[in-house]
Each structure stands twice: as C-alpha cells, then as structure tokens.
Chains A and B, each alone.
Chain A
C-alpha cells in the first residue's frame, strides 16, 4: 500500500455540498448526535438571541438619548439611558462569552462523538471494504470531513443564528422608526447582495485554485525532499529548481487572483456603506428639515448600517461552510451506512479452547461476484498440530486460501470447518483470537518493540513479553538494540531492519498463544545470521500448533509435515518433501527453479 496522501481535489470539495442539507436522512443523522446535548444547545441558542438583542440596542438607545435626553434637556433621563447602554454592553459581552463557550462545548462534543462512532464503525467493516477503498480516502473522512463539520457545528450555526436575527431585528427596528427612510436605506441592499454573491462565487473558485496550487507546491517539495538522495546522485538540482520555481509561480499567480478579487470587493463594500450613509443624510435630512423625523432617528439609522453590512458578509461566508460541510456530511454518512460484510458477523459460538482441526469442503472463491474463480472446489483436511507448507507460483491462490481461513473472506460456495464446525457459526472475533497471523511484509505500529509484541494485551507485564521473546530465541537480539525493548520502531517499523521486523511479528503472534498459525513467509533476503535466527524462531513458533505456511524458503518446506502444491486455484500435489521430490512432478520442478537457490 502506498503512503496515505490526504489531499482533496477542489472538485471533490465543491460539487453538490449544498444539496445534502435538503436530504432529510443525512441531516437527521447529524441531528441525532446533537440531540444528546439538546438542553445545553437550547441554553446556548437562548444566549445567542439575547446577545443579538443587546447588540441591536445601542443605536436605539443613542436615538433616545438624543431625542429625549438632549433635546428635552433631561439629565436624569440621559443618565438612565447611559446606564442602560452600559448594562446592555456588559450583559451582551458576558452572554457572548457564555455563548462562545456553550457552542464549543456542544459542538466539540458532537464532533467527538461523531468521530468516535465513525472510527468504531470503520473497524467493524470487513477487509474487502479496505481493499476497495484507498487508505487515504478513509483517513480523510476521519480528519478532513470531521473538521469541515466541526467548523459548521462550532461556528457556522452560531453565525447563522446571530446574523439572521441581527438582519431581521435591524430591519424591524428601522421600519418601526420610519418606514420611508428604512425603504430608502434598503435600496443599497440589492447591490450589496449581488456584489457579495459574485464575490463569493469568484473567491471560492480562486481559493480553490490556491488550494490546488499549494498542494502542488507541497507535493513538489515533498518529492524532492524524500528523494533528495536520488536528486543529488543524479545531479538533477538545476532542473528541480526550475520545475519548482514554475509550480511556485503558479501558486503566486493563483494567490494574486484572490488579491484582485478581494481588492475589488472589500473597498467596494466600504464605498457602498458610504453611499448608504449619504442616502440616509440626503433623504433623512430632508425629512428632518420637514420635521417628519428627529435628528436622533437619523443618527440611529446611520448606526444601524453596520447591522446590515456585517450579517450579509458573514451569511455569505456561511454559504461556503454549508457547501463544504454538506459534502463532508454526505461522505461521512455514506461510510456510516456501509454495512459490514457477513464475514464480520458478531455473535455465534464461542471458540472456547480450539483444537485446531481445519477442513475445507468443496470451497470455491472469487473476489468479484461472477468473476474468475481464484479457488475452485478445493477440499482439504488438516489434522490438529500438522505443519503444512503451501507452495506454488504467484497467483495460484495461496494467499486467498490463507485469507479464507482467517475468514477475511467468505467462500463463494463450499464450507470451511474448524474443529468440525462451520466457520460461519463462530463468533468471528473470538475465533480470530485463536488464530495467529504473520503477513509477508509485517505491519508494525509506531511505538516500542514491547508494545508491538503485547499487541493483544497492552497491559501485560513486561516479564511476560520477555518470556515469550526468550522462548523464541530473540530476547538477546531485542535487548541488544539501543534502547532494548523500549526501542521506538517508528512508523511501519521503519527503524528496524527487515529481519528484525519479521522477528517482532513472530514474537507478536507467539505472545497471543494461538492454536492455529497462518504465516506468509517474507521473500526479501536478510543476512545469514538473521536468517538463522528466523529459522530457529519459526520452528519454536510453530511447535505444537496447526500451521499453514506460504513458504518461500527451502528450510521451511523441508521441515514441514506436509507440502501442498497449488496451481491456478487447485491443489495439484500433496505429500512430504521426500516423496514429492521422488514423484518428479510440479513440486520437483518448483524445487529446482525456485526453492533450491538459497
């Protein structure tokens, strides 16, 4: 599998994000997560309403102060208004603080719950899902999509409520103060709206290009840094610089577009607000002169202008938030809606203490329904404790057979029996606990060697881990590493050599004390000393267990109780090393061409 690349294309991001919000099912899914905190959410929304109200009070109080306090020369009234003004300011500020905290409290909890249940659901999905879906895509659901929903839940909702209320509230107040002047003032709104819509469309497209350009810069940089040795060895620095400068220049140009777009919009909006002020003065001034409205009302009108301009801008920002979080929600829900395949069915028989008899009865399998059969009517019986080596050319179905025994896949027809019981009747996780699996390129998790060995029991005593490693003969190897068992293996075990990684994965399988062992032998060569350790550890790991080994080493094949030769989904030979060699069939050929050269 290649490294995870979490880069989203701009096309993936935009698209039909908005349409999701009218699909009841997806939205309900999200709402259900939020309902758990409904009382806290309700309190937060009440706080939001109050914050908006106190915010709108300012210009109105100013009007009262001018018209009644100052014009009426009433110092008491003026004092009262001043105190009210301060009280509204303080109350609004405090409520705003509470609202901020409350929104975060609820939003972040919902986000956490959503993320956790998404991950739990992902781990319950079958291996087939993971082979069809790129790892990077899945990780992006857990990170990018959740982040998009977070920005909606934590900021978007608050912005929506407060902006809408402010807009509605301000309009109502203006019309109540003076309908004519309100109408005149509102005449700039259509222009503002049109300008904003155009700006949003342009800006979102331009920022999309910036994101792509930045991603290109990162990719170019990352490739050069990861491949610096190749670059320097082949003296490609000059060409690299030119290519990078070109990518970087595209990034500059894309950014420059955004400078032009916002350079036109934001000063434009400010100009529009000057125009609105002028309209109020022009129209309202005549009304004042005609004695139709008071000076206070006119001042309040100017004061309320920002209550129009700010919400329109923040609502237009919301457009983007809803679009990207809608797309995110759709993808998250699509994952949550994926039903795990029947290989992952939980419940059923407890495996108890398994003996480890394996039988395949007439098993056929194909990866795609109606596709080519990778295994064809395969029947096989492995008694308890037998050591079986599986050999054959690439694509013969060896790995597929191993995967069926782990129940990563289900036979298309036929049955796999373990201890005489249909594998489908077991509780799958309970069954797998009794099966040890060593992959060809063992996957280690970042952490210490100790933690990688005690994978199934993170709380196990170190002494037990050391005991297991000693029993395998690898204790000295591990304890001789710079920090012994506490050595950090780093991502995918990259700090260890290929041989050491294999030995850790042997120890890991040994530690879980399986009854059945399925092992895909590594093909890469290691130095003869490590090879010797691997051989020794392997025979100790297999002792007393039913085992199926996809073998590549001669020593492994020779020491097996039984050898199965597979070709094109069939078992074509079955016997021990000596007798098969004597038979001079496929095994003898394989022995000469592949196995013998050490």
Chain B
C-alpha cells in the first residue's frame, strides 16, 4: 500500500487535475447507468401494468436522454483518463531512459538487456494501465456496489439482504481465481520464451546440427520444450475450468432468490412488478463490478510489483559520476599514471596493485593470457569503473577530479566486438562528431583501412549496416569502429583487441599508421600478434591482475612466457590422465 501511494505521488503527481476530472466523469457515468433499471421499474409500474400507452413515451424518452448523457460522460472520461495515463507512461519511460543512460558500466554489466527492456516497456505499461484505468475502475465499482445496495435496500430491505448475500463470494472467488491464474499465465510466458530461445539457437546453428547429423536429438529437445508449454497451458485451463463454473453459479443463486421470493412478494402485494424487474436489473449490474473488484486487487498487486521494478532503476544512483569539485580539462596532453591501482569484480581481485606511467605520444601494448585483467585495466581510463584502491591520473589530475564529459571526450576506445548502430556507415563513423564532413569521414576510414571495403558496399558510405541492414564481417566491423574512434581525434586511443579479426598484415599496417607516429597521441593496445606488439614502444605483460614484466618489445619475452605456460599445462594434463592418453594412441 505504501508503495502504491508512493507510486501515485511520483507518477500521478503532475496530473492531479486530470485525475480528479476523470474521477468525477467516471462517477457521473456510473450514476447515469444506475438510472436505467429505475426508469424500467417506473415504466413497468406506471405505464405497462396499468396499460397506459401514452406514458410509455415519457419513459422511453427518459431512457434515451439518460443514455445520451451517459454516452457523453463516458466519452469524456475515456479521453481524459486516456490522456493522463499515456502522459504518465511517456514521462516515466523518458525518465527511465535518461536515467539508464547515466548509469555506469557496472550497472549495465550486471543487468541483462532483456530485463531492462521488459521493465521499460511492459512494467511501465502495467503501471500506466493500473494508474490510468485500474484506480478509476476501483472507484466506479465501489460506487456501483454502494449505490445499488442502497437502492435495493430502499426498494425491499428483506429481499435485498437475501439476494445480495451470495454476491460478496464472487469477489472472493474472483480474487482467488486471479491469484491462481496469474502465476500460471506467467509461467506460460516463461515456457514460450524458453521455446523461442531453443528454436532460435537451433535455427542459427543448423549448420552444426546437419554436420553432426543430430537432427533427431534437436527435435527431441524442441519437443520437450513444446510439451512444457502444452502442460503449462493445460494447468491454466484446469484452473479456469474450476473457477469459471463457480463464478457463473453465484449470480444464478441471487437471481433465483429474486425470482422466487420477489415473485412471492409481488403476488402478496408487498412489492410491485416493476420493483422485481428493477431488482433483476440491478443485481445484473452488480455481477461485473464484483468480479472486477476481485481481480483488481490482484491486478493492483502486480502493478505495484511493476512499479517497484521501475522505481528500483530510477532510484539506482550511478557509481561513476562527476564529483562536485570536478573540472573540465582544457588541453589534454595524454600522460597516464596508475598509482597502486586495484579493482575487484564479483569478489575477485581482477587488478592487483598496478603502478605504471604512460607518457604522452607513447604506444603501449598490454599482453597476457585470457582473464589477466587487461580489459579491466583499459576500462579504468575512461572511468567505466573507478578503482577500489589507488588512483588513475591523466596529466597529473586524479580522473575523479575531471568531468566525465571532458575525460571521455579525449579518449577513443575500440573493443573486440564493437557495437555498431543500425545506421548508414557514414552515420556510424561520425557518431562522435555528427557534423563531420564526408572528407574527414573518408580520411578516418582510410586510416582504419576501411575505406576500400566501404566503397565496395552496395551503397558505399550510405549503406545501412547492423541488425536492420547489411551484416559486416567481424574484421569489417572492427575497422568501422576504429574509424569512428579516430574521427574524434582523441588524445588517448585504446584498442582492446580491436583488430583481432583483421588479418595480420592489415593489423600491423593500421597500428603503424595510427600509433605513436605523430608523437602526440597516447595509444594503449591490447593485441596478440607478435608483429603488432613489436610496433609498440613498450610492452606490459600482465598476469593474474599484476604487471609481471614491462619494457621495450625486444626485452620482454612475453611470447615465450605464454607459450611455455601453455606447454606446461599440456604436459600436466597428459600426466594427470594416463588412461586417456593410452586410448588416444590406440586411436592414432
């Protein structure tokens, strides 16, 4: 309940007038609806039973008049509450989006994209639906319940009590129904998502499936997933099959009571026929609100859960942000210093006491086995993370004292699997400098050895790539991303395995062209090919989060060290399993 109130404050706050107006209109609509059975009663008692055809016209006109008013109110209510609800949805989603953009890489690494998407789309919609419509339904349904009960009690107190008695059960049953059905429906969605994942993987991996001739095994896996959906659906059907009769039965009990006891009262002249008809009409009017209210409670609970998920993101504060004393760096020279820097990720120390100074214009190659902390170290430079201990400095300033905007503006970072947007190539390259001329774009592309293949694309630089366009190869994507980074002319360039899919010769050509040649750009390269590493001024060998060797390429036997370690692991593996080795020799 507290969350609900907080949600209403945060989300509905700016729309108080609209909310109040739609509430008034909703109550007016409900009120008009309650006139109709009453008019029918009057028509029966005053016109039909006394057989006065002339009076009938009056009642018919009244019904049309009330109906017209009701239509106007209902139309206005729908427009007003629709406006409010959609405004809330749009505002919340915009806020969520803006906030997600400010959250750091640590947040985005630990949250799944799909999860965030479903919060920003489905959860926001659930909040909209409930705040925009659900609350109004609650009000109008309660108003109907109270109004009808009062009218019936005035008409015939005894019959009212008898016929209304079974109805609250509808509320209870509907609530139980919704409470049981919803988890089941949710589970169906889960099963469907699982099947989709199974199907996607099988379709994309069809080459492997065919090559290994395991079609039958995959069909079995698919059928198992398919059967799980079926079973879950049947479970939901069983719940429906059980509750639907209950919900259908309860109103018939009330209507039967009205028919018999009401009929008897009419015969005994304790009540008019019109009142009996009205009773019937009013109880019919109650059935739906009763069911709705039962479900609305569960609906509300789910909306509150959705709202909590949305608020959870909105209230997450970015770990990396400008400190109050941060200032913009005017002219970046590009001197990087790591001073006893450590960093932990998931309880593991990934960087352990790294101290190193990288000079302006220097090209440094970071090498080491998979998982030694190279990428994490590189990510500390644009402050994707802050170190747990120690400081990273740029031109002598602690990174935390520099505004994020001026820091990142002076750094170009390209990684192994770069993300390109579904835009034309040219837009991708000038992503960081949207008004760059074609000439500058081509220049950057040439430096990244991308110009030739881009020109050969169907529409050259205007070819749309990515998810909704042409699929580029890994090496091509890497080169486009490189051009994108080069165009911003960064003082510091970080290539995180950024040319691994480019062939060896092109790679060394690129590195030679963009590296320290001009003598002003500081370049940090994570690479594996000796020919590329040779081009660096210094090599830093990292192992287990520490710098184990550092020096000019010819002085650091990094290749030998890594190969020797691999060889040792090979020998150990074989020594550990003599039985397996025997079988291998048998094979050969």
Contact = CB atoms under 8 A, between A and B. Distances in A.
B121 A218 contact: yes
A456 B217 CA distance: 8
A553 B572 CA distance: 26
B86 to A, nearest CB: 5
B90 A267 contact: no
Nearest to A126: B210
B204 A135 contact: yes
A25 to B, nearest CB: 25
B475 to A, nearest CB: 8
Nearest to B413: A233
A558 B47 CA distance: 108
Interface of B is mostly: helix
Given A290-B53, A406-B211, A274 B201 contact: no
B270 interface: no
Given A214-B121, A286-B56, A470 B576 contact: yes
B531 A474 contact: no
A435 B207 CA distance: 13
B351 to A, nearest CB: 18
A230 B105 CA distance: 11
B563 A529 contact: yes
B380 interface: no
A528 B559 contact: yes
Nearest to A434: B213
Given A116-B223, A458-B217, A474 B573 contact: yes
A442 to B, nearest CB: 8
B485 to A, nearest CB: 8
A252 B488 contact: no
Contacts of B528: 525-528, 531
Contacts of B504: 525, 594, 597-598
B315 interface: no
Interface in A2-43: 2-6
Interface string A227-269: 1111111111101110011001101100110011011101110
Nearest to B383: A232
A1 B263 contact: no
B171 interface: no
A78 B256 CA distance: 10
Interface string B425-458: 0000001101000000000000000000000000
A233 B276 CA distance: 74
Contacts of B462: none
B108 A228 contact: yes
B212 A225 contact: no
Nearest to B108: A228
B240 A100 contact: yes
Given A104-B233, A123-B202, A234-B488, A477 B569 contact: yes
Given A108-B234, A529-B566, A285 B75 contact: no
A198 interface: no
A49 interface: no
Interface in A112-140: 112, 115-116, 119-120, 122-124, 127, 130, 135, 138-139
Contacts of B68: 271, 274
A598 B531 contact: yes
A112 B563 contact: no
Contacts of A473: 570, 573-574
Contact of B259 (A85, A123, A277, A476): A85
Interface centre among B192, B199, B223, B384 (most CB of A within 10 A): B199
Interface string B189-220: 00010011101111111111111111101110
Given A432-B210, A471-B587, A528-B562, A100 B241 contact: yes
Nearest to B367: A527
Contacts of B236: 104
B518 interface: no
A533 interface: yes
B370 A497 contact: yes
A176 B391 CA distance: 92
A240 B100 CA distance: 11
Contact of A241 (B48, B97, B500, B531): B97
Interface in B71-125: 71-72, 74-75, 78-79, 82-83, 86-87, 89-90, 93-94, 97-98, 100-102, 105, 108, 113, 116-117, 120-121
B44 A299 contact: yes
B43 interface: yes
Interface stretch (B6-14, B140-148, B246-254, B289-297): B246-254
Q: Which 10 A-B pairs have the closest CB atoms?
A: A89-B252, A274-B67, A93-B248, A285-B56, A104-B237, A259-B82, A289-B53, A101-B241, A263-B78, A529-B562
25 contacts: A6-B196, A82-B263, A97-B244, A122-B203, A147-B192, A218-B121, A228-B108, A230-B421, A233-B382, A240-B101, A248-B90, A248-B97, A263-B82, A274-B36, A288-B48, A291-B51, A302-B40, A431-B213, A475-B573, A476-B576, A492-B204, A527-B562, A528-B528, A528-B559, A529-B563
Given A93-B249, A249-B90, 17 more contacts: A78-B263, A79-B260, A89-B248, A96-B248, A97-B244, A223-B422, A270-B67, A281-B56, A289-B53, A295-B48, A437-B208, A443-B205, A470-B576, A471-B581, A475-B580, A524-B501, A533-B570
